[in-house]
Copies of this chain bind each other. A is one copy, B any other.
Amino acid sequence: MKTLWLIKIGGNVIDDADRLKAFLKSFQQIPDPKLLVHGGGKLASALAQQLGVPVRMVDGRRLTDAAMLEVVTMVYGGRINKTIVAGLQAVGCNAIGLTGADGNIIRANKRTGWEQDYGFVGDIERVDEKALSGLIEMGLTPVVAPLTHDRQGSLLNTNADTIAAKVAVALAGIYQISLVFCFEKPGVLENPADDESVYKALDYSSYLAQKSAGTISGGMIPKLDNAFAAMREGVQVVQICQAEGLLSLLGDHPAGTRLKL
């Protein structure tokens, strides 16, 4: 099987034009077929505030009413996605920007039955791995925005880490997947206060122990749960590092943390 690199970047890279430019240059140097998933960053909240659309978060999740859905469609699907695509074209990478609605690649259901009504937020029902691999085999590099659709005409706001994990699982039958989450920190840290204390490797039982002990906590937990779940469903390699460490993954001394089951 061919290797496919599936890289996820978040707000810390997207919100900084110079870091983004440097990242896209590194990304283009990955020789294998590849796919990029991007998050939203602070731009959606900034635009919402400018437009007087209330920004409401519950447990780190964005409540997405109709007005906020318009904002994220403009920011994620338009501004961020197209800026990345044009930036990749400038370095010779034939990128194609996609939301889950484009080519029906990611179909989702509007989240219901939770105590909190999150509004237009999607839980992924199905990723069309053939549509994605069809584009990849044409020589295209998909750039996926954190938006899905319900196939009834509505776009849905969807967590980018979850999209990366689910797309990786769907493509794992076709490619040998290297799934890379670019985080703010240089990897999973043994001591959250010490950026030098990166686990070179982290297996699932150690993760559970660190979670119980409280050394791995907060926003890292859903991210790591997501990543381990992807491994259990067939994703061969999951690495967590900083965007700046991306190219080290091609060599013998990969930056960040390699997950193991």
Instruction: Point out residues on A near B: beta carbons under 8 Å.
Output: 47, 50-51, 70, 73-79, 81-83, 85-87, 89-90, 94-99, 101-104, 131, 134-135, 138, 140, 147, 149, 151-155
Closest to A52 in B: B50
- Complex alpha-carbon distance, A13 and B190, angstroms: 57
A81 CA / B134 CA spacing, docked (Å): 22
Chain A to chain B: the 5 pairs with minimum beta-carbon distance, closest first = A78-B78, A90-B153, A74-B74, A74-B78, A77-B78
Q: Given the complex, which residues of B lie within 8 Å of A95, measured CB to CB?
A: 101-103
Which of B78, B79, B90 lies in contact with A151, CB distance below 8 A?
Answer: B90
Would you call B134 and A89 a contact (CB within 8 A)?
no
Q: Is the CB of B102 within 8 A of A96?
A: yes
| In the complex, chain B residues whose CB is within 8 Å of the CB of A102 | 82, 85, 95-97
Cβ-defined contact, A79 with B82, below 8 A: no
Which among B47, B83, B140 is the interface contact of A73 at CB below 8 angstroms?
B83
| Residue in A70, A74, A87, A154 whose Cβ sees the most chain B Cβ within 10 Å | A74
Can you list 10 A-B pairs, Cβ within 8 angstroms, ordered by A?
A50-B50, A50-B51, A76-B78, A78-B78, A86-B154, A86-B155, A89-B101, A89-B104, A94-B104, A135-B138
Q: Shortest CB–CB separation between residue A154 and chain B, in angstroms?
A: 6
Q: Which residue of B lies closest to A90 (CB)?
A: B153
**Contact status B87-A153, CB under 8 Å:** yes
B99 touches A103 (CB 8 A): no
Quick check: A94 and B86 within 8 Å, CB to CB?
A: no
Complex: A202 Cα to B104 Cα, angstroms: 40
| Complex alpha-carbon distance, A29 and B120, angstroms | 29
B85 touches A79 (CB 8 A): no
- A51, A101, A147, most chain B CB atoms within 10 A: A101
Cα A245 to Cα B203 with chains together (Å): 62
Besides the contacts A78-B82, A90-B153, what 16 more A-B pairs have beta carbons closer than 8 Å?
A50-B51, A70-B79, A74-B74, A74-B75, A77-B79, A77-B82, A78-B78, A78-B81, A83-B155, A86-B153, A86-B154, A86-B155, A89-B153, A96-B103, A97-B99, A97-B101
**A74, B85: Cβ atoms closer than 8 Å:** no
User: Are the CB atoms of A81 and B77 closer together than 8 Å?
Assistant: yes
Q: Which residues of B contact A90 (CB under 8 A)?
A: 151-153
Task: Give the chain B neighbours of A104 by CB distance below 8 A.
Answer: 89, 94
Complex Cα distance, B76 from A95, in Å, reads 18
